[in-house]
C-alpha cells in the first residue's frame, strides 16, 4: 500500500476533519505519517497515524494570540514563515529518506506546500473551510479593524515573502500560496450545496461533506428547550458577551449549555443563573443531539455539526472567514443573524431560532447533501484515485 505524509497547522478546526480520513486510510492498509503538534497526538495516533511532532519549530505565541487569530493576517503569515524555515532542513531530510507516495497538506499549511514543491512530490490540498479562489475570496468581508491591521501588516508580509524567495521558494504572491488553485487536487469538507459559488470549482475538487465520527441520533428531551452557546473552544475570549447571555436567558423556561473555551475561567464570569451549565469544553456532538438552538461563532466545524444534527442556529461570527460561513447559512435559511450583543437582542434571536420551523427543515435538506457527499470514505477514495493516477504516470 501507499505511504502518505500529512501536514496540518496547530488548530483543532483544521485537524478534526482529517482524523476520520486517516482512520479510513490506515484501515485500508495505507501508512500515514502525520506532521502535527502535541495537543493532537493522542487523537491522531488513535486513528492509526504515525505522528511526528513539530512543536519545537513553532515560534512562541504572542500573549494576545486569541485576539490576533483570524484578525491579524500579517502575524499569522509571520508565524507560518518562521515555522516553515525552521523545520525545512530536518523535515525535508525525513521526507527524502521516507519517500512518501503522496503529501496531503492543509490549505493554509505553508510549510507542507513549500516542501512538496522543493522535493517535487505529488500533493493534495485539504480544505477544512469553504474552498476559496479569486471569486469566492470576495465573500470574506473584513471589518474596519481587520482592514486596518492588514494594511499595516503589508510590509511585514512582503518581508516574509522575500525570506522565502531567498531560500529558493516561489513566493512572489502570498495569495497564490494560500488560495485553492484550479490545477491542484483538493478535498473540501463540505457539500456542493453548502459551498458558495460552487460552479467556479472544477472536477479536481472533491466536495466530500463533513468528515465526522458517528453522529448521535436526535434526542427528544420532552420537557423544555435546550440552548447551546459556544464561540469556539480555543480563541474567542468574550466574558462580557457571556454575561450578557446570563442576563438574556437566565431564569427563563429553558436550559442553557455555555461552552466558554479554554481561555476563559468559568468562575471569572461570576455566579451563573440556575438554568445555565457553564463549561470550558463539552462533547459538542452529544450536546447538539439534544439542542433546540445553537448560538455559534460559525466556525466551519460547528456549522457542519449543527446542520448534521438539524439544529436551528443563531449566527454570531467573530472574523471574516466565519462571516462567510454565517452569510451562507443565512442565505440557505438555516438560522438568524445576531447583530447586537445586548441581552434584548440575544433573547429575541434565541426566541426566533426556537420558534421558526423552517430553520430545522432547511437544515435537514443540507444535512442530506452532506450524507450523500460521502464524508471520510469519499475523501479516502479520492486520495486513492490520485495515487492511482500518479502511479500510472498521468498528471
**Same domain, residue pair 164 and 255:** no
What angle do the packed helices 320-331 and 300-308 form, to 10 degrees? 20
Residue 143 pLDDT: 54
Residue 375 pLDDT: 96
Q: Which residues of the chain have pLDDT under 70?
A: 61-72, 140-152, 221-222, 233-236, 393-395
Whose cell is 452557546? That residue is 229
Burial 323-339 (b: 16+ CB within 10 A, else e): bbbbbbbeebbbbbbbe
Select from 324, 336, 323, 345 the least CA-distant residue to 363: 336
Distance CA 198, CA 245 (A): 36
Q: Give the helix/strand (H/E) hosting 258.
A: strand 255-259
**Same domain, residue pair 240 and 271:** yes
Domain holding 138, by residue range, is: 3-209+374-391
Q: Is 195 helix (H, G, I), strand (E, B) or coil?
A: coil
Select from 292, 289, 284 the least CA-distant residue to 359: 292
**Same domain, residue pair 190 and 81:** yes
Q: Is residue 255 part of a domain?
A: yes
Q: Is residue 220 part of a domain?
A: no
Q: Is residue 221 part of a domain?
A: no
Residue 223 pLDDT: 84
**Same domain, residue pair 45 and 126:** yes
Q: Count structural domains, the chain.
A: 2
Q: List alpha helices for the chain, DSSP H.
A: 12-27, 41-46, 65-68, 73-98, 110-119, 144-152, 154-166, 174-178, 239-249, 284-288, 300-308, 320-331, 343-355, 357-373, 375-391
Residue 80 pLDDT: 86
Q: Is 221 helix (H, G, I), strand (E, B) or coil?
A: coil
**Same domain, residue pair 204 and 325:** no
Q: Is residue 215 part of a domain?
A: no
Q: Residue 394: count other Cβ atoms within 10 Å of its Cβ.
A: 7
**Same domain, residue pair 364 and 238:** yes
Q: Residue 188 in contact with residue 207, Cβ under 8 Å?
A: yes
**Same domain, residue pair 201 and 340:** no
Residue 171 pLDDT: 76
**Same domain, residue pair 169 and 277:** no
Residue 30 pLDDT: 97
- Single pTM value for the model: 0.88
Q: Is residue 218 part of a domain?
A: no
Distance CA 162, CA 106 (A): 23
Q: Is residue 216 part of a domain?
A: no
Q: Is residue 307 part of a domain?
A: yes
**Same domain, residue pair 366 and 379:** no
Q: Residue 344 in contact with residue 246, Cβ under 8 Å?
A: no
**Same domain, residue pair 40 and 149:** yes
Q: Is residue 143 part of a domain?
A: yes
**Same domain, residue pair 181 and 248:** no
**For residue 96, what is the domain's CATH number?**
3.40.50.2000
**Same domain, residue pair 92 and 171:** yes
Residue 150 pLDDT: 56
Residue 177 pLDDT: 76
Amino acid at each position: 500500500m501507499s505511504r502518505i505524509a500529512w501536514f496540518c497547522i496547530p488548530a483543532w478546526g483544521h485537524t478534526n476533519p482529517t482524523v476520520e480520513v486517516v482512520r479510513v486510510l490506515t484501515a485500508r492498509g495505507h501508512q500515514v505519517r502525520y506532521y502535527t503538534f502535541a495537543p493532537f497526538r493522542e487523537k491522531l495516533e488513535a486513528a492509526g497515524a504515525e505522528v511526528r511532532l513539530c512543536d519545537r519549530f513553532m515560534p512562541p505565541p504572542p500573549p494576545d494570540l486569541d485576539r490576533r487569530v483570524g484578525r491579524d493576517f500579517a502575524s499569522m503569515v509571520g508565524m507560518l514563515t518562521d515555522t516553515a524555515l525552521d523545520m525545512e532542513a530536518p523535515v525535508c531530510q525525513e521526507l527524502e529518506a521516507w519517500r512518501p507516495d503522496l503529501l496531503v497538506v492543509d490549505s493554509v499549511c505553508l510549510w507542507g506546500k513549500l516542501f512538496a514543491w522543493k522535493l517535487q512530490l505529488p500533493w493534495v490540498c485539504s480544505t477544512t473551510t469553504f474552498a476559496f479562489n479569486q471569486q469566492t475570496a470576495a465573500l470574506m468581508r473584513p471589518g474596519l479593524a481587520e482592514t486596518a491591521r492588514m494594511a499595516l501588516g503589508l510590509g511585514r508580509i512582503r518581508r516574509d515573502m522575500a525570506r522565502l524567495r531567498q531560500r529558493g521558494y516561489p513566493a512572489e504572491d502570498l495569495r497564490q500560496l494560500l488560495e485553492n488553485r484550479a490545477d491542484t487536487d483538493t478535498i473540501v469538507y463540505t457539500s456542493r450545496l453548502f459551498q458558495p459559488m460552487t460552479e467556479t470549482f472544477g472536477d479536481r475538487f472533491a466536495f466530500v461533506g463533513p468528515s465526522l465520527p458517528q453522529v448521535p441520533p436526535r434526542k427528544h428531551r420532552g420537557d423544555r428547550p435546550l440552548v447551546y452557546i459556544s464561540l469556539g473552544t480555543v480563541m474567542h475570549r468574550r466574558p462580557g458577551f457571556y454575561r450578557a447571555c446570563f442576563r438574556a436567558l437566565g431564569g427563563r423556561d429553558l436550559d442553557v449549555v455555555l461552552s466558554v473555551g479554554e481561555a476563559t475561567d468559568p468562575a471569572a464570569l461570576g455566579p451563573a443563573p440556575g438554568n445555565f451549565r457553564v463549561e470550558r469544553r463539552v462533547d459538542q456532538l452529544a450536546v447538539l443531539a439534544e439542542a433546540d438552538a445553537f448560538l455559534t461563532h460559525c466556525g466551519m466545524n460547528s456549522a457542519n455539526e449543527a446542520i448534521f444534527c438539524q439544529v436551528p442556529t443563531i449566527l454570531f461570527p467573530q472574523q471574516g472567514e466565519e462571516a462567510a460561513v454565517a452569510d451562507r447559512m443565512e442565505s440557505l435559511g438555516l438560522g438568524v443573524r445576531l447583530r447586537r450583543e445586548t441581552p434584548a437582542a440575544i433573547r429575541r434571536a434565541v426566541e426566533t431560532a426556537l420558534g421558526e420551523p423552517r430553520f430545522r427543515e432547511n437544515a435537514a435538506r443540507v444535512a442530506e447533501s452532506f450524507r450523500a457527499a460521502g464524508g471520510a470514505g469519499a475523501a479516502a477514495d479520492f486520495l486513492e484515485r490520485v495515487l492511482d493516477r500518479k502511479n500510472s504516470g498521468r498528471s
